[in-house]
């Protein structure tokens, strides 16, 4: 049996009650640019979703928790927002029909809360548990994205003395690396230290060329909905989604890389990401019973900061990622060896360049197209971002993870699960029948 961990049984054996205080609206504690708008690049336009993450800090004797954690985190947040002032605004649409940040001083909601249990009882938080972990992130519903705060923070204290920082952030403001750099700057401020990496806020360096010159095909934007059979368009429509995590220790990763290599191939073994991406895409396609003639698409973010010419400045705050894409008939990845799928992933990575990123920026300028998720798997790799290195003064986070996944189309690669020091954890959601098949494939 594969080693997948589920959120359906052992993760829900206890009930947790969380009591929230009314939110305090936090503003930058200093002079900032007020009024007008803040420019968002074309790489920011396709990501107006809210990402919800949690950071777990066990009880420690390094600093008292009960009375000061909320005050320290709130006052340090006020200070660090001076450097990250766009979070104080709200999304809006300009005359060019593009997203910008309206610098209206809307502020950042900050909530203190208490839980009636021990932090340890949460178990492994790498598995999304929206009903439970959602209580640890303050993110009230709004009628539109233009009313939604761009950053929301909740600090929840547990009976044991540990606490969790829950954060909801607009992806239009920051990709994974920028989110981590913001967290580290906030943590340094909480410890009374100067910020070691100041944010570079001028996103106009990613402005489209004039005139725009899109010169590469953009399969990421291909809408496959009209080409999918009814089975692929709505697999298991009435069944619930089961989230499960799969741990890949170094030994299993080594086996996977050998499986992902053709016999007699003298090229270097594939990277961990390429091997896992090929495995997950192929296995999920099989598990969903995707007809061979249906198109299958894989999207994954590639950091373009160093691929651009010149590279983006250190501390660039925004989305510096470009979506690499694999697109083919499902039968091409189902009927051929895993090595073929992995080579497709490798080729997509190699194709991300200064020219292709500039072409994507210009393509949006001309078309205003959004990536389509029909028939698509979106992979997000958080293994090297360093979320867990955040230290507000009580030591680094013992665990971090998503409070929820945006949908069944998304899978995450995370650092090792609780209790492990090396390896990679894969998290995704599928219907129970598809998950059963997926888990069988993972057993190798």
In a domain, 264, yes or no: yes
| pLDDT over 60 at 6, yes or no | no
Q: Are residues 192 and 95 in the same domain?
A: yes
- Give the pairing type, strands 163-170 and 18-20: unpaired
In this structure, are residues 199 and 313 in contact, taking their beta carbons and an 8 Å threshold?
Answer: no
Mean pLDDT rounded to a whole number for the chain: 91
- Cα dist. 172→29, 41, 100, 101, 144 in Å? 23, 9, 9, 9, 14
Dihedral sign, Cα of residue 312, residue 315, residue 316, residue 320: positive
In a domain, 285, yes or no: yes
Instruction: Write down the residue that tokens 């057993």 correspond to.
Output: 443
Q: Are residues 199 and 277 in the same domain?
A: no
In this structure, are residues 132 and 124 in contact, taking their beta carbons and an 8 Å threshold?
Answer: no
Q: Are residues 246 and 271 in the same domain?
A: yes
Q: Spell out the residues 6+ positions from residue 360 whose beta carbon is closer than 8 angstroms to its own.
A: 42, 43, 214, 216, 218, 220, 322, 323
Distance from C-alpha of 127 to C-alpha of 119, rounded to nearest angstrom: 16
Packing angle of the helix pair 250-259, 272-287 (nearest 10 deg)? 70
63 pLDDT band, cuts 50/70/90, is low
Q: Spell out the residues 6+ positions from residue 435 whose beta carbon is closer than 8 angstroms to its own.
A: 4, 242, 244, 287
| pLDDT over 90 at 225, yes or no | no
4 pLDDT band, cuts 50/70/90, is low
Which residue did the predictor score with more confidence, 265 or 124?
A: 124
Dihedral sign, Cα of residue 3, residue 7, residue 8, residue 11: positive
| pLDDT over 70 at 10, yes or no | no
Q: Are residues 200 and 333 in the same domain?
A: no
Q: Are residues 271 and 159 in the same domain?
A: no
pLDDT, tens only, 163-178: 999 999 999 999 999 9
**Which pLDDT score, from 0 to 100, does residue 8 have?**
41
Active site residues: 171, 391
| pLDDT over 50 at 226, yes or no | yes
Instruction: Write down the residue that tokens 């002079």 correspond to.
Output: 31
Specify the CATH number for the domain of residue 226: 3.30.559.10
Q: Which of 377, 385, 366, 384 is nearest to 405 (CA)?
A: 377
**Which pLDDT score, from 0 to 100, does residue 25 have?**
98
pLDDT, tens only, 173-207: 999 999 999 999 999 999 999 999 999 999 999 99
Distance of CA 170 to the CA centre of its chain: 11
In a domain, 375, yes or no: yes
Query: At which of 152, 182, 206 does a domain end?
Result: 206
- Kindly provide the residue ranges of all beta strands, DSSP E only, lying in 204-353, ordered along the sequence: 242-248, 295-303, 321-329
In a domain, 346, yes or no: yes
Instruction: Write down the residue that tokens 């320290």 correspond to.
Output: 72
In a domain, 358, yes or no: yes
In a domain, 214, yes or no: no
Query: At which of 206, 241, 257 does a domain end?
Result: 206
Query: At which of 185, 206, 227 does a domain end?
Result: 206
Q: Are residues 174 and 250 in the same domain?
A: no
Report residue 400: phi and psi, to 5°: -140, 160
**Which pLDDT score, from 0 to 100, does residue 236 have?**
56
Distance from C-alpha of 442 to C-alpha of 218, rounded to nearest angstrom: 31
Instruction: Write down the residue that tokens 């360093």 correspond to.
Output: 386
Q: Are residues 384 and 268 in the same domain?
A: yes
Distance from C-alpha of 411 to C-alpha of 380, rounded to nearest angstrom: 6
In a domain, 84, yes or no: yes
Q: What value does the mean pLDDT take over residues 383-394?
A: 90
| pLDDT over 50 at 108, yes or no | yes
Count of domains forming the chain: 2
**Which pLDDT score, from 0 to 100, does residue 229 have?**
83
Helix count and strand count (H, E) for the chain: 10, 17
Q: Are residues 165 and 30 in the same domain?
A: yes
Q: Which contiguous run of DSSP H or E holds residue 435?
A: helix 432-442
| pLDDT over 50 at 11, yes or no | no
Q: Residue 201 belongs to what domain range?
A: 5-206
Q: What value does the mean pLDDT take over residues 278-306?
A: 96
Q: Are residues 200 and 228 in the same domain?
A: no
Q: What value does the mean pLDDT take over residues 199-225?
A: 92
Percent of the chain scoring above 70 in pLDDT: 93
**331: DSSP letter:** H
In a domain, 349, yes or no: yes
| pLDDT over 50 at 111, yes or no | yes
pTM above 0.85, yes or no: yes
Percent of the chain scoring above 90 in pLDDT: 73
| pLDDT over 90 at 235, yes or no | no
Task: State whether residue 278 is helix, strand or coil.
Answer: helix
Tokens encoding 161: 């003395």
């Amino acid at each position: 049996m594969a080693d997948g961990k589920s959120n359906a049984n052992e993760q829900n054996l206890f009930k947790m009650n969380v009591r929230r205080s009314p939110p305090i609206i936090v503003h930058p504690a200093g002079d900032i640019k007020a009024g007008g708008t803040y420019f968002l690049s074309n790489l920011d336009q396709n990501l107006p979703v809210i990402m919800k993450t949690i950071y777990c800090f066990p009880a420690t004797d390094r600093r008292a928790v009960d009375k000061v954690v909320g005050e320290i985190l709130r006052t340090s947040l006020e200070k660090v927002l001076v450097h990250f002032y766009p979070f104080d605004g709200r999304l809006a649409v300009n005359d060019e029909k593009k997203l910008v940040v309206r610098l209206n001083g809307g502020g950042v909601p900050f909530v203190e809360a208490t839980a009636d249990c021990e932090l340890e009882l949460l178990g492994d938080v790498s598995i999304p548990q929206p009903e439970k972990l959602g209580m640890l992130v303050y993110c009230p519903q709004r009628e539109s994205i233009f009313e939604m705060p761009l950053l929301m923070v909740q600090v929840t204290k547990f009976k044991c003395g540990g606490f969790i920082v829950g954060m909801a952030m607009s992806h239009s403001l920051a990709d994974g690396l920028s989110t981590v750099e913001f967290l580290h700057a906030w943590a340094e401020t909480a410890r009374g230290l100067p910020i070691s990496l100041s944010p570079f806020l001028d996103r106009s360096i990613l402005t489209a060329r004039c005139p725009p010159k899109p010169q590469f095909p953009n399969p990421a934007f291909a809408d496959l909905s009209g080409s999918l059979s009814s089975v692929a368009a709505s697999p298991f429509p009435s069944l619930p989604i089961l989230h499960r995590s799969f741990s890949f220790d170094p030994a299993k990763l080594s086996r996977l890389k050998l499986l992902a290599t053709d016999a007699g191939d003298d090229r270097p073994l594939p990277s961990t990401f390429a091997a896992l991406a090929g495995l997950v895409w192929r296995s999920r396609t099989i598990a969903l019973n995707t007809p061979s003639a249906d198109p299958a698409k894989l999207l994954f973010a590639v950091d373009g900061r160093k691929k651009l010419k010149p590279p983006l400045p250190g501390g660039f705050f925004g989305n510096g990622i470009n979506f690499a894409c694999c697109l083919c008939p499902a039968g091409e990845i189902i009927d051929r060896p895993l090595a073929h799928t992995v080579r497709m992933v490798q080729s997509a990575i190699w194709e991300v360049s200064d020219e292709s990123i500039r072409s994507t920026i210009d393509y949006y300028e001309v078309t205003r197209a959004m990536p389509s998720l029909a028939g698509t798997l979106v992979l997000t790799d958080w293994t090297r971002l360093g979320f867990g290195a955040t230290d507000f003064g009580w030591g680094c986070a013992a665990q971090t993870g998503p409070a929820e996944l945006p949908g069944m189309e998304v899978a995450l690669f995370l650092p090792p699960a609780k209790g492990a020091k090396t390896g990679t954890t894969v998290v995704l959601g599928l219907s129970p029948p598809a998950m059963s098949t997926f888990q069988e494939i993972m057993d190798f």
